[in-house]
Structure 1
Amino acid sequence: MGLNALVSEFIETSGVPGVVAGVYHAGQQQVVAHGVTNVVTGEPMREQTGFLLGSITKVLTTTLVMQQVEQGRIDLDERVVTYLPEFGLTVPGAQDIRIRHLLNHTNGIDADLYFPDTDGREALRIAVEGMAEQVGTLFAPGEHISYSNGGMIVAGRVLEVVTALPYHELLQRNLFVPAGMTGTATSPAQAILRSTAIGHFPTQDGARRTELFKLPDTWGPAGSSAIAGIGDLLAFGRTHLDGGIAPSGARVLSQESVTRMQTVTHSNGSRHIPPIGLGWLLMPFGDIEVLSHSGASPGGVAVLVAVPGHDLVFAAYGNDARAMALFDRILLSLLRDRLGATVPDLITTTVEPVDLNRYEGTYRSNQLRIDVRAVDGTLEETTTYEPADNEQSRIFTAFVGGSIPAVTRRFLPVGKDLFAPAGLPLEMFTGYSRQLLVSYHDFRDGRAQYRSAGGRMTRRATE
């Protein structure tokens, strides 16, 4: 089934309001759009419609950092405090966080739900200074991969200091302009001048529109800045496949920087957590490795995939998170049918439960608590959001579309220290939905010290 048919069928049957998707392969490009940008206005989704990139922005931020590395303003192996004396995390090891650790999610900064509510030119300075009082670390730098919004926020502030330009201006001047991303915006004020999609949340009757368009500017480098169309996002992906030269013909990065971003810098050794380069997740799909990043925004989800050696880029956005199921289907179809790749299912069977007591306990990260206990050969997990204050609660609940009750789920053992949500078909974990798997790490005295879900670590609480 072709791209247009896949998207059209999904919109007709899923309840997702709208999707725009595009594929570039070997000189040919196709973009399709179906549904609406906004269920309230009924405006149709168009091929040129813009959307929030969410965390795909992290690859843009890394690209900007590598530009400054090329110019000698940033050293990947230098400590963050060399550039930001105000980076005042006082927990042990925090002063040894290097620039490299910010870009490959091994910094350990425990700030994934840290939402300073500030916009404007001073937003990143305020965010970084606030970390000293409000967040800590989960582990020593370089010890584990734990997906880090906080690390990218710090990286954005480093860029501001070494260039003397606000992050949004730097993004426009050093990336969007040379890459020919002419339709990409960095603010709602710019986005409103074009067709722009709005996020939605599922309801019994379909979907309702989000009340929050984007997160504050404090999250700019991590995912609240860039608003792009599919054509511009495909151009960015092609730039990284073509040795740093954009389709416009301009050089955005050196070949050396592109290679460094695509080279493994760390791996947790678990099947559901991909190895990471710099910025890019290096996701294995059978005998093919793809450069990949997804991005969530309030009520929306986007993906960007580039396949080295095959001149293929896939990008998509859906204004309802349920669209991720479609993106999995498209990606696997591209790899298997168009490229002829062998992509076996990641998980094919459950396994006999081992001593589940080694996983039991309470695990915590910033404002999040997970209680784990063994029940009938499975792990039962109860996740509780514990907001630091009313501001944090207001922003996060708006981001996810409503109040956040404690949720209890069962997980089945499917591999060594690896578990899958009960009741879901195992074949669904081959694509992006592998992020739903849970793994346990760093065993001491026979008990796991860390739990990882969605690439994010929580640490065993002191008993």
Structure 2
Amino acid sequence: MDTTSLHTVEAQIRAQVAAYCESANLPGFVAGVYHDGDQIVVAHGTANVTTGAPMRDDTGFLFGSVTKVLTTTLVLRQADRGLLDLDTPVVTYLPDFALTAPGAADRILVRHLISHTNGIDADLFFPDAKGRDALKTYVNGLASSCGALFEPGEQLSYSNGGVIVAGRVLEAVTGLSFPDLLERDLYAPVGMKDSGTSAERAILRGTAVGHFTDPETMAAKPTGMFMLPDTWGPAGGTPIGTVADLLAFGRTHLAGGVSPSGARVLSAESTALMRQVSYDMATPNVPPIGLGWVLYPFGDTTVLAMSGASPGGVSLLCVVPEHDLVFTAYGNTPGAILLHDQLLRWLLSEHLGIRIPRLVTEMEQDVDLAPYVGTYRSNQLRVDVTIVDGQLEERTTYEPADESQERIFTAFAGGTTSAPPKRYVPVRPGLFAPAGYPVEMFDVYLRLLLVSYHDIRDGRARFRNAGGRLTRRA
């Protein structure tokens, strides 16, 4: 097989996508690859099963949390201009920024917001507001609704709240709303001509909607909520665009901050800073993080990545600087993340010839499970960990703060407020794998399925980390 040709890549992606969509009941999928000056886009299936609209090369979709890298790029762009400083306390720019824990917000720096080391306990905080003051409403709500998981810089926990606060900082220092700033300082200079932030704009062109599996018919059913509230814009609630747009953004980061059109979007220094390790938890399930980017190590190769969940859909953006490659994709059911993993694995190993080290080689049998048993909490989330049949069993329950939070979360999650119990087996002390999964499954993106426990004190773990998110022992 000629794995050096993007024509070969296109044929392989088409074959894998068609097979997966048929076997996994995934309505539609779109993916793109840029490599060494060439670019391909592959679209398959249906963008909306209700209308039957096809998924096309230029079909729009919600970026989800891929937006976090866009927001971080905007923060660094304003730092380049001297409008803000990464090592300045957030309260300097937002005097009303506060958390329920007295004084906790005062110690958070701008850098902590975009490195996910801020400790803001707001991962499921969904205030429902629209328009110009949406982010102001979000930040004001933190003072009465959300506390701190840890001291700034003490730990790493994927932070929706931190990035949303960063979006509000951007509004304060530029005088523009976040959507307007995104249009002016990123979409326009990068050349993201089909990107926007509103359903009203998206309806004017072909846009995919997410789907969930109907538990009775097992058929894919369109989501009842297209997008999250405007309050979640900077974290991924509202930006919408195409594969071509995300490829252009990824190419901008490949080129040291210069867009495909030649416009300087970000300084070379700031582009490099986003790739530098800001925090490393030294556990396989949580890759090191830079500013915005999650840094996946594969030997001497680092993949800059961010995935993005939206109601009933999931996106992925990967940039591989050592090989001048960008990969991006979107599928319109949550299960599409498995296809993302398959395609990324093939691109790395077969197309680029990168050896993918085995992340989990064997399981330890005699691990004391007692330090990990207990109840762990974060914003509106409870995880009860017990020992059953010599394995850890986790029961996760969403505990909504009010009717509005419950309505938004359940729509985002496809109608559920709790997950079935999950069993985990020890890889080693402090690291666990879901029972029954082959160990090779965790080598690439799906290492996020592993669960780790941290900061053992008096024989008990203080934190649990799943999917990059911390919960704290109650």
1:48 matched residue in structure 2: 58
Aligned residue in 2 for 1:197: 208
- On the 8 A contact 2:296/2:303 being kept in 1, the answer is yes
Name the counterpart of 2:415: 402
Output the TM-score relative to the length of structure 1.
Answer: 0.98
Please show how residues 321-340 of structure 1 align to structure 2 within 5 Å: 321-340=334-353
Counterpart for residue 30 of structure 1:
40
Which residue of 2 is the match for residue 425 of structure 1?
Answer: 438
Partner residue, 1:8: 18
Q: Which residue of 1 aligns with 2:122?
A: 111
Aligned to 2:282: 269
Answering whether residue 152 of structure 2 is matched by residue 141 of structure 1, we say: yes
SS of the residue corresponding to residue 142 of structure 1 reads coil
Decide whether the 8 Å contact of 1:53 with 1:226 is kept in 2. yes
Taking only the aligned residue pairs, the percentage that are identical comes to 60
* Equivalent-residue separation in structure 2 for 1:79 and 1:440 (angstroms): 30
| CA distance, structure 2, for counterparts of residue 403 and residue 9 of structure 1 | 28
Match of 1:67 among 44, 61, 77: 77
Equivalent runs, 1:303-314 vs 2, <5 Å: 303-314=316-327
| Partner of residue 8, structure 2 | none
The code of the aligned residue for 1:377 comes to: G
Task: State the distance in 2 between where 1:170 and 1:39 align.
Answer: 34
SS at match of 2:184: helix
Question: CA-to-partner distance for each residue in 1:241-276, whole Å, 9 max, x for gaps?
Answer: 100001011110000000000100111111110101
**Correspondence 1:19 to 2:29:** yes
Deviations 1:408-455 (A, max 9, x none): 111000123100111222211112211111000011111100000000
Contact 2:100 2:145 in 1 (8 A): no
Post-superposition offset of 1:355: 1.4
Q: Is 1:78 the counterpart of 2:88 in the alignment?
A: yes
In the alignment, which of 335, 352, 364 is matched to residue 377 of structure 2? 364
Distance 1:107 1:379 in 2: 29
User: Which residue does 2:179 correspond to in 1?
Assistant: 168
Structure 2: state its 5+ residue gaps.
1-10
What do the CA deviations read for 1:281-331 (whole angstroms, capped 9, x no partner)?
001134421000000000000000000121100000000011111111110
**Aligned mates of 2:461, 2:143 — CA distance in 1:** 28
Q: Which stretch of the first structure deviates more once superposed, 102-111 or 374-383?
A: 374-383
Residue matched to 1:282: 295
Mapped to 2, the partners of 1:353 and 1:152 lie a distance apart of: 40
- Tell me, yes or no, if the aligned pair for 2:27 and 2:332 is still in contact at 8 Å: yes
2:49 maps to 39
| Cα distance in 2, alignment partners of residues 116 and 445 from structure 1 | 38
Equivalent residue, structure 1, for 2:113: 102
Shift, 1:226, TM fit: 1.2
SS, match of residue 280 in structure 2: coil
Letter in 2 for 1:26: D
**Which segment drifts farther, 403-412 or 71-80?**
403-412
**Aligned partners of 2:419, 2:446: CA distance in 1, in Å?**
22
Specify the alignment match of 2:5 in structure 1: none
Q: Deviations over 1:120-143 (max 9, x none)?
A: 110000100010000000000001
Q: Which amino acid aligns with 1:48?
A: D
**Cα pair 1:287 1:343 within 8 Å, conserved:** no
Q: Mean Cα displacement is larger for which, 25-34 or 352-361?
A: 352-361
Letter in 1 for 2:115: N
3-state SS, counterpart of residue 178 of structure 1: helix
Distance 2:131 2:232 in 1: 11
Q: Distance in 2 between matches of 1:376 and 1:414?
A: 16
Aligned structure 1 segments of 4 or more residues deviating by more than 6 angstroms: none
CA contact (8 A) 1:233 1:304 kept: yes
Q: Is residue 208 of structure 1 aligned with residue 221 of structure 2?
A: yes
Deviations 1:80-131 (A, max 9, x none): 1010011022415331000000000000000000000001110000100010
Q: Cα offset for 1:8?
A: 1.8
1:205 CA displacement: 3.3
Distance 2:218 2:368 in 1: 43
Distance in 2 separating the partners of 1:93 and 1:115 = 21
Contact 1:287 1:342 in 2 (8 A): no
Asked whether the 8 Å contact 2:382–2:397 carries over to 1, the reply is: yes
SS of corresponding position for 1:309? helix
Write the distance in 2 (CA, Å) between the matches of 1:285 and 1:8.
28
Report the equivalent of 2:400: 387
- Tell me the residue number matched to 1:297: 310
Cα contact 1:89–1:95 (8 A) shared by 2: no
Alpha-carbon distance in structure 2 between the residues aligned to 1:20 and 1:173: 27
RMSD (Å), alpha carbons: 1.1
Q: Secondary structure at the match of 2:367?
A: coil
Matches of 1:212 and 1:307, distance apart in 2: 34
Q: Which residue of 2 aligns with 1:455?
A: 468
1:88 to 85, 98, 108: 98
Shift of 1:349: 2.1
Structure 1 residue runs of 5 or longer lacking an equivalent are none
Q: 1:158 aligns with which of 148, 166, 169?
A: 169
Q: Deviations 1:376-399 (Å, cap 9, x if unpaired)?
A: 321111111111011100000000
Does the residue aligned with 2:44 lie in a helix, a strand or coil?
Answer: strand
Q: Normalising by structure 2, what TM-score?
A: 0.96
Report the alpha carbon displacement of residue 406 of structure 1 after superposing the two structures with TM.
5.0
Task: Confirm or deny: 8 A CA contact 1:16 1:206 kept in the other structure.
Answer: no
1:125 to 126, 136, 160: 136
CA distance in 1, matches of 2:310, 2:419: 22
Number of residue pairs matched by the alignment: 461
- Alignment match, 2:4: none
Q: Structure 2 CA distance, aligned partners of 1:11 and 1:384? A: 30
